[in-house]
Amino acid sequence: MSSRAPHRPNAAATATALLLLTATSAPALTDAAQDDLCPIPNELPPNFARTCVDLGEASGDRCWITYTPPAAAATDSGVPLVVDMHGFTSCAFYNPTYTGWKERADADGFVVVYPQGTANSDVVDATCFNAGQCCCFKDFARVDEADDVVFLRKLVDDTVAKSEVPIDTDRIYMAGHSNGCMMAQRMGAEVSDLVAAVCCHAGVQVAYGTAEDFPAVYNGSTSVLTVHGDADDTVPYDGGGFLGFRGAEDNAALWAEANGCAAGPVVIEDESGSFATHAYSDCGNDGMGEVKLIQLYGVGHAPYMTTETTPEGLGNMTDVDTTKLAQDFCFQHRLTSPSAVGPTRSPSQSPSTSQAPTQSPSTSDATSMLCSTVKNVVMILAVTLLLR
């Protein structure tokens, strides 16, 4: 295993995320013991909620954070659901501080969920999603225990069934950063009956080498937009990096082939001079399966818009609201099936879940959370140094 990791939040950024997403100065600890690398506090700010699901002996408890903004709660009609996944070594509570999906949800009234990747130190050395070739490792060997496709499908089912607001199941979108973007693309290929579109940042497909390798169930209808900085030295725009990733343009070409796109790529430079769009069209399955790549000039591994609240340590970002571009792309697309608002299965089929209780944290909880936070920071620093 080589010298670079797909995502490396520094200690200051991790601490900032905890402070921004902690509802009180002494939050209660998560009761999911298997999340020891990245414990999610029981108590979160208004409109955030923590949920855990029991996946059985193989994967144990897995958790996520749901954000339901007032604008979504105010509607009676079905709203979109965006699944925003973190990068390698990162945490679910970190994404809302920089990916921009929370702000887009505030503006346009939809629900965002932030899944926690595998965070059990008995299984992996650092937090990760099992996107295929990347990024779950133990003692420098790849591990495949966690079935994140099953986890994310259950996450969606549970969210749809129990959401405070109705979810439009024809508008479920996969987003994410780095390893999270890789996982989003795996979901787009393996669960195309669930995913209306993928719109993610700084990641490529790592589950399949060629279009012929895509699963037989894939119907070629998943529209995909990736946003990639051409100065990214972690998942390089032209390919390579610590796992020999395919390049961003090759990745778009792979999806275009899998989707049967007959035209493209057409490259159009934005009038701002900050980025270009590589677009494929005339795709199969009645025109579904549109493929686009946004190439950001001179931008690194965090191709998101810098704001006043963006934590330090994310490198060379951009002044382009790439999350808005991603939203505009994804929200144009729906599943090809007739619109169905409501649960995708009956409540009796739902996995066992636990909602975080509303309670005042004790002094011992506060001390434990502090110790766990310090442990998490030390872990990230150690992984960063080890993989540098």
Place of tokens 């909880």: 365
Q: What is the pLDDT of residue 34?
A: 56
In percent, how much of the chain has pLDDT > 90?
A: 62
Q: Which CATH class is domain 31-337+377-383?
A: alpha beta
List the beta bridge partners of residue 111: 81
Q: Which helix (H) or strand (E) holds 138?
A: strand 137-138
User: Quick check: 176 pLDDT over 90?
Assistant: yes
What pLDDT band is residue 61 in, cutting at 50, 70 and 90? confident
Q: What is the pLDDT of residues 110-123, one digit of tens each?
A: 999 999 999 988 88
Predicted pLDDT at 29: 33
Task: Tell me the two tokens of residue 359.
Answer: 């309670």
pLDDT tens readout for residues 365-375: 333 333 333 33
Average pLDDT over residues 36-49: 87
pLDDT at 262: 94
For the segment 272-279, the average pLDDT, to the nearest whole number, is 98
Between residues 82 and 144, the one the model is more confident about: 82
CA distance 379 to 60: 22
Distance CA 57, CA 39 (A): 20
CA angle 277, 281, 287 (to 5 degrees): 135
Return d(Cα 14, Cα 384) in angstroms, integer.
13
Domain definitions of the chain by residue range? 31-337+377-383
Nearest CA-CA partner of 346 in 155, 156, 161, 154: 161
Q: How confident is the model at residue 284 (pLDDT cuts 50, 70, 90)?
A: confident
Residue pair 93/18 in contact by the 8 Å Cβ criterion: yes
DSSP category for residue 170: E
| pLDDT surpassing 80 at residue 59 | no
Which has the higher per-residue pLDDT, 23 or 354?
354
Give the pLDDT confidence of 307-366 residue by residue, as tens digits: 887 888 888 899 999 999 999 999 999 986 433 333 332 233 334 444 443 333 333 333
- Residue with tokens 């905890």, as numbered in its chain: 18
What pLDDT shows up at residue 260? Answer: 95
pLDDT attached to residue 54: 85
Residue 7 is predicted with a pLDDT of: 43
d(CA 81, CA 98): 19
Distances (CA, A) of 130 to 5, 205, 331, 349, 379: 14, 12, 26, 25, 20
Q: How confident is the model at residue 43 (pLDDT cuts 50, 70, 90)?
A: confident
Angle 259-213-56 from CA coordinates, rounded to 5°: 105
Q: Give ∠ CA 23-108-199 in degrees, rounded to 5.
A: 90
Does residue 136 register a pLDDT over 90?
A: yes
Beta carbons within 8 Å of 228's beta carbon, 6+ residues apart:
201, 202, 235, 237, 248, 293, 294, 295, 296, 303
Report residue 219's pLDDT band, with 50, 70 and 90 as the boundaries: confident
When pLDDT is cut at 50, 70 and 90, the band that residue 131 belongs to is very high
pLDDT at 154: 94
Instruction: Please state, for a pLDDT cut of 70, what percent of the chain lies above it.
Output: 76
With bands split at pLDDT 50, 70 and 90, how would you rate the model's confidence at 138? very high
Cβ 294 vs Cβ 268: under 8 Å: no
Question: At which residue do the structure tokens 């872990």 appear?
Answer: 379
CA 52 to chain centre: 17
Confidence of residue 268 (pLDDT cuts 50, 70, 90): very high
- Find out whether 84 and 78 touch, Cβ atoms under 8 Å: no
First-to-final CA distance of the chain: 11
Q: Which residues pair with 50 in a beta bridge?
A: 65
Task: Identify the pLDDT of residue 299.
Answer: 97
